[in-house]
């Protein structure tokens, strides 16, 4: 779904606004073209672990056919990574139904039922960053600096930052925010 105009997103955003607050823009994330890190990570591990298990479970000696419990124990990592992949896919699907809104006072990330997940005041607009089709709602510079010492390079910290993902025209949304913040 394109994030340029979505009447349902506008309706949900208007329901979430406070008294005297005006919705300046509302939309939803666009469709993801590339496989994201959150899905690629468990999928890659599932393929590597599954492939190595299949390679090693070739039953040349008859040992595995005599001990089915051993096979069950050896496939536990496969089930764990498959569950992780399913959880990541569910989370991504849930996030794809989010509604984004820019109001006269703040930027909102709403669940599809109108529940406010994140609200960032426009006074923080100088910290917002556009990167590709994503609009980061502050904190990115600090997370990048702090994440250099993390084992995962700060990816976990970045996942917790509020952001508008998959925007068709992030520069236009940022211009709307700058105009409202001025």
Q: What is the pLDDT of residues 31-89, one digit of tens each?
A: 654 566 677 778 888 888 887 777 776 666 666 667 777 777 777 888 888 888 888 88
Q: What contacts 131, CB < 8 A, 6 or more positions away? A: 140
What are phi and psi for residue 176, nearest 5 degrees?
Answer: -60, -40
CA distance 145 to 97: 31
CA distance 71 to 51: 14
In tens, the pLDDT along 20-45 reads 888 889 888 876 545 666 777 788 88
CA distance 6 to 27: 6
Strands (E) in the chain, as ranges, are 23-27, 99-103, 106-110, 116-121, 129-131, 134-136, 163-164
> Considering the entire predicted model, what is its pTM?
0.68
> For the chain, what percent of residues have pLDDT higher than 90?
0
Model confidence at 137: pLDDT above 60: yes
Confidence band for 127, pLDDT divided at 50, 70 and 90: confident
Residue pair 2/68 in contact (Cβ under 8 Å)? The answer is no
pLDDT of the residue at 149: 67
Model confidence at 3: pLDDT above 60: no
What angle, rounded to 10 degrees, do the helices at 76-96 and 37-56 form?
Answer: 160
Closest CA relative to residue 168, chosen from 45, 30, 63, 51: 30
């Amino acid at each position: 779904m394109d994030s340029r105009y979505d009447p349902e997103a506008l309706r949900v955003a208007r329901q979430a606004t406070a008294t005297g607050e005006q919705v300046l823009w509302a939309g939803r994330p666009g469709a993801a073209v590339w496989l994201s890190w959150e899905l690629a990570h468990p999928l890659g591990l599932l393929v590597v672990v599954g492939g190595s298990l299949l390679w090693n479970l070739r039953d040349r000696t008859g040992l595995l056919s005599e001990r089915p419990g051993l096979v069950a124990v050896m496939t536990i990592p496969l089930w764990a990574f498959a569950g992780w992949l399913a959880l990541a896919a569910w989370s991504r699907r849930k996030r794809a139904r989010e509604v984004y809104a820019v109001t006269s006072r703040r930027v909102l990330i709403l669940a599809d039922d109108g529940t406010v997940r994140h609200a960032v005041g426009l006074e923080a607009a100088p910290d917002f960053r556009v990167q590709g089709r994503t609009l980061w709602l502050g904190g990115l510079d600090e997370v990048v600096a702090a994440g250099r010492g993390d084992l995962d390079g700060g990816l976990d910290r970045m996942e917790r930052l509020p952001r508008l993902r998959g925007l068709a025209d992030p520069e236009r949304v940022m211009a709307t925010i700058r105009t409202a913040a001025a």
